[in-house]
Amino acid sequence: MNQCLIFPSDIQIDGNAHLTGRRHQHLLDILRTQTGDKISVGLLNHQMGSGLIVSQDAERTCLQLELEQSPPAATDLTVVLALPRPNMLKRSLQNMAALGIKEIYLIHSRRVEKSFWSSPLLKKEAIENELVLGLEQAKDTVLPNVYLRQQFKPFVEDELADLAKGRRALVAHPSDNSQSVSCCQAPSLVAIGPEGGFIDYEVDLMQQAGLKSYSLGPRILRVETAVPVLISKIWQL
Amino acid sequence: MNQCLIFPSDIQIDGNAHLTGRRHQHLLDILRTQTGDKISVGLLNHQMGSGLIVSQDAERTCLQLELEQSPPAATDLTVVLALPRPNMLKRSLQNMAALGIKEIYLIHSRRVEKSFWSSPLLKKEAIENELVLGLEQAKDTVLPNVYLRQQFKPFVEDELADLAKGRRALVAHPSDNSQSVSCCQAPSLVAIGPEGGFIDYEVDLMQQAGLKSYSLGPRILRVETAVPVLISKIWQL
């Protein structure tokens, strides 16, 4: 935790943030803070700065906030990701949040195991927990939006073309004719397939929605590796 | 396992590869292969191709190999990595192998916990196991070389300047004046710090050895994310 993320609900009537639970325990056990210490903080979806520990006991940490710094620029790259298996999803959510991605669509596709959709990790609160870990790692405050789309065809036909409009829109698909993509800060969108890739029919549909096929070459990467690699290739961090 | 990696010691007098252990169990339990099936194989440090299952029982799988394809081109980027905590090291080794890195130096640095050096994961065989998983994922056969350097100063003073010679050599160091680096296929080297980064003294020494400071911007990434991000930024996959 390079920065402690404060939620509006943590702010009490005295204007200070009162932390309990995970963040309090982390300060106590890992960072071993004491009253009088200053730590790096950020207010969810707002400014960042420092938190002076005005009191700390076994139950809670009380922080006086001074917020004067803007969070880092967002990465204007929409990620459309075929739902990965739960442990990969965890790390991918953390990585996307850390890399500044703000719009994430988790979609179904033929090679996504149906059982993945019943993972408790897809509950709103569980997704948020992973995103918060990524924001705390990278020192950001702006929570990404995560949308679940359990039906491939309606998503591609009804939403994807609009999402792709005005953006450089790509579907990552292993092939021999690797198209090179320059790394820049133009608004972009990338669709990333499941283990085994999108099937041809799915790639065709996405191409009809305006996406261009893009290959990283012959190496097959795990989803949790492909996500940061593709973001780095497309967006100038 | 997108490709089953065969070791020279697996080849028996009949010219076929006899697999036991992890790879045999994976074929049996996960891929559910049967006699007559063909699977994707690669011979360690040699060609890739297909393996015809000529027999398979509870004990072993016997493969007749046909090897006619070259492994993908290597990534000519030497990675000098401050030794990360064991679980991060595992994933980083897998990722580097999958991304085609062939020269890996694991080094000490001030902010590396000394206890990490006594991890059983640093045994030659344990490192090789992780690398093999990465090669199997990416369909490569060429095992990376991993060198352990437990003393920072002698490594930087006696070896690093030579390693950097003739290469674009960078040390990843968070700072505000982010130097941009173009992504290409020029021989390169990148040094990646531990959690908390290299200390200034270490960066100075590495600069004296010919490395240029390079920043990814204000976001602080976990080592296991920074590794694929930096490789992607520097090397044209």
Q: Which residues of B touch A232 (CB under 8 A)?
A: 228-229, 232-233
Do residues B99 and A225 touch, judged by C-beta distance below 8 A?
yes
Do residues B50 and B40 touch, judged by C-beta distance below 8 A?
yes
- DSSP-based three-state secondary structure for B2: coil
Sign of CA dihedral A111, A114, A118, A124: positive
What value of ipTM does the predicted structure carry? 0.92
What are the tens digits of pLDDT across the range B162-221? 999 999 999 998 765 556 677 788 999 999 999 889 999 999 999 999 999 998 888 999
Nearest CB partner across the interface for A219, out of B98, B183, B225: B98
Instruction: Band the pLDDT of B237: cuts 50, 70, 90.
Output: confident
Q: Which residues of A touch B90 (CB under 8 A)?
A: none
Instruction: Band the pLDDT of B93: cuts 50, 70, 90.
Output: very high
Q: Calculate ∠ Cα A183-A185-A188, nearest 5°.
A: 85
Give pTM, 2 decimals. Answer: 0.93
Q: Which residue segment(s) compose the domain that A160 sits in?
A: 77-234
Q: What is the mean pLDDT of residues B74-88?
A: 96
pLDDT of residue B217: 84
Please return the burial class of B126, using the count of CB atoms within 10 Å of its CB with bins 0-12, 13-18 and 19+.
middle
What are the tens digits of pLDDT across the range A5-58? 999 999 999 999 999 999 999 999 999 999 999 999 999 999 999 999 999 999
DSSP lists the bridge partners of residue A184 as A235
What is the gyration radius of the CA atoms in chain A, in angstroms? 20
Q: Is residue B114 domain-shared with residue B136, that is, in the same domain? A: yes
H helices of A8-85, where?
Answer: 21-29
Q: What is the mean pLDDT of residues A82-98?
A: 96
Residue A64 reports pLDDT greater than 90: yes
Residue A23: which of A8, A45, A7, A46 has the closest Cα?
A7
pLDDT of residue B215: 87
What are the tens digits of pLDDT across the range A117-171? 999 999 999 999 999 999 999 999 999 999 999 999 999 999 999 999 999 999 9
What are the tens digits of pLDDT across the range B33-77? 999 999 999 999 999 999 999 999 999 999 999 999 999 999 999
Q: What is the mean pLDDT of residues A94-121?
A: 97
Q: Is residue A172 domain-shared with residue A93, that is, in the same domain? A: yes
Q: Which residues of A touch B216 (CB under 8 A)?
A: 237
CATH number at residue A62: 2.40.240.20
Residue B71: which of B163, B9, B147, B134 has the closest Cα?
B134
CATH number at residue B104: 3.40.1280.10
Q: Is residue A177 domain-shared with residue A100, that is, in the same domain? A: yes
pLDDT of residue A176: 53
What is the total count of domains within chain B?
Answer: 2
HEC sequence for A174-199: CCCCCCCCCCECCCEEEEECCCCCCC
Contact B180 A236 (CB under 8 A): yes
pLDDT of residue B136: 96
Contact B233 A232 (CB under 8 A): yes
Q: Is residue B127 domain-shared with residue B25, that is, in the same domain? A: no
Instruction: Band the pLDDT of A177: cuts 50, 70, 90.
Output: low
- Distance (Å, whole) CA B13 – CA A55: 74
Do residues B98 and A222 touch, judged by C-beta distance below 8 A?
yes
Q: Is residue A99 domain-shared with residue A214, that is, in the same domain? A: yes
Residue B57: both structure tokens together: 């029982």
Q: Is residue B65 domain-shared with residue B81, that is, in the same domain? A: no
- Distance (Å, whole) CA A33 – CA A24: 10
Distance from CA of B137 to the nearest CA of A (A): 6
Higher pLDDT, B93 or A233: B93
Residue A210: CA atoms inside 13 Å, Cβ hemisphere, count? 16
What are the tens digits of pLDDT across the range B109-138? 999 999 999 999 999 999 999 999 999 999
Q: Is residue A154 domain-shared with residue A100, that is, in the same domain? A: yes
Q: What is the mean pLDDT of residues A175-188?
A: 74
Contact A225 B99 (CB under 8 A): yes
- Distance (Å, whole) CA A32 – CA A21: 15
